[in-house]
Structure 1
Amino acid sequence: MRTRQSRRWEICLLSLALLAATGGCGSEPEAATRPLAGGAAAPVAHSGAEEESAGKAALAAYSGYLDASRAASARSDPAHPALARFVADPLLTRVRVAIREAKEHGAMRTGRLVSDPTVVAVDLAADPPTVEIQDCLDATGYRLVYAKDRRVVPGTRGGRYLATATATRYPDGRWLISAGAGHQDQPC
């Protein structure tokens, strides 16, 4: 029975390895936490410079997300304030839940998560504008451990695997990571 319960939350927490999960209390106005939306408009041609700028901003948000996730996971703090600066729902809620579950089971993340992201698609004509990111995460040194004695939680694994994320531009101009997934079955 203990193994089944342990395995259930471990599976949930493995998704945490993608972005090292974090949490934050959003104090932004409601409009600032919704993607840009509007009526149908004619397609607009965007320059390569605009797309490059969007890609850089999205990668900065992704990097901030990973850093905030690592910090929140290391402290087992699902309300870590840095997360809301880089992550939006539905991903923000998933990350907070994963950290909360780890904390409830006496676990936390420790070690180093190595990231090598690249922009694979920019769609500034989308409503809202998005940037797709692909990453090869190296979690070999990033472990889920019991906070009390730092023993590695059984059944958790590291390794190198593909991760994907979507950055979305919000009405206030910020790029936030709104979706993400770790594909541990796809090594890189």
Structure 2
Amino acid sequence: MASGLIALSACGSGDDSDGSAKSPVPTSSAPAPETSSASADTQKQAKDAVLQAYEDFWAEQVKAYAKGDTAGTSFAQYAAGEALSSTQDDLKDLHNKGIVTTGAPSHDTTVVSLEPGKKVPSAKLTDCLDSTDWKFIYRKSGNPVEMPESRLIRYVTRIDAEKWGQQWKIVDVTPEQRAC
């Protein structure tokens, strides 16, 4: 996951309407057997659970950035791997600069692929992250951090998630250089 300041100032342009957001549920004009219905229910439950984990990931991340530390948040419950370590590194850097955040980004998230039957269930998501209402400020003065005028405010982010035990975790978040 790219750091907050870098992600907010570096992301770029494009359109994410390639139609690949459909989950891999078999479709047919013939009546589906009961096992297909159960499979569709499993897919829907997994999709809902991974989307909720991503929302919770962001809710906890916003708390961490607002105070400059993941301590006292449940961020590690929803993040692992690169998503966890890069956020922790970013928070250390921002803390050293005296920077925290106010507000929160908004999201328009789509599950692109979902494989709940794998040994380690996984999912890929795409998010149109809108940072309009997420501001970086200097902790002591409350003054806004100057950001490049050319930075993207709304940009595409690719997300990898895995299910560890009963919990979906966000393992990688990659901002792309394209607007949404």
Shorter-chain TM-score tier: 0.7 to 0.9
User: One-letter code of the match for 2:48?
Assistant: K
Q: Which residue of 2 aligns with 1:181?
A: 174
2:68 alignment partner AA: S
Structure 1 unaligned residues grouped into runs of 5+: 1-10, 19-44
For 1:154 and 1:47, how far apart are their aligned partners in 2? 50
**Structure-2 separation of matches of 1:13 and 1:118:** 21
Shift of 1:133: 1.1
Structure 2 CA distance for partners of 1:17 and 1:60, relative to 1, 3 Å: farther
Aligned length: 150
Give the Cα separation in 2 of the matches to 1:166 and 1:80.
25
Of all paired residues, the percent bearing the same amino acid is: 25
Q: Given the alignment, which residue of 152, 157, 163 partners 2:157? A: 163
Higher-Rg structure is: 2
Matched residue SS, 1:133 = strand
Conserved? CA contact 1:130–1:168, under 8 Å: yes
> How many Å apart are 1:17 and its aligned residue?
4.6
**Native 8 Å contact 2:8 2:153 kept in 1:** no
Q: Residue 119 of structure 1: SS of its match in structure 2?
A: strand
The equivalent of 1:13 in structure 2 is 4
Query: Once the 2 structures are TM-superposed, how far is the Cα of residue 169 of structure 1 from its aligned partner?
Result: 0.7
Q: How far apart are residue 12 of structure 1 and its match?
A: 4.0
Which of 1 and 2 has higher RCO (CA within 8 Å, sep 6+)?
A: 2
Distance 1:129 1:65, change over 3 A: same
Calculate the TM-score normalised by the size of structure 2.
0.75
Q: Which runs of 5+ in 2 are unaligned?
A: 10-35
Partner of 2:39: 47
Q: 1:15 to 1:126 in 2, by over 3 A?
A: farther
Alpha-carbon RMSD: 2.2
Q: For the residues of structure 2 that align with 1:82 and 1:158, how far apart are their CA atoms? A: 28
| Deviation at residue 16 of structure 1 after TM alignment | 5.5
Partner of 2:25: none
Q: Deviations over 1:157-176 (max 9, x none)?
A: 45111112111011x21111
Name the CA distance, whole Å, in 1 between partners of 2:6 and 2:161: 18
Q: Deviations over 1:95-116 (max 9, x none)?
A: 1111111011000111231111
Which 4+ runs in 1 deviate beyond 2 A?
Answer: 11-18, 78-81, 124-127, 154-158
**CA-to-partner distance for each residue in 1:11-51, whole Å, 9 max, x for gaps?**
84324659xxxxxxxxxxxxxxxxxxxxxxxxxx9812211
Q: Report the Cα offset of residue 152 of structure 1.
A: 2.1
Correspondence for 2:88: 96
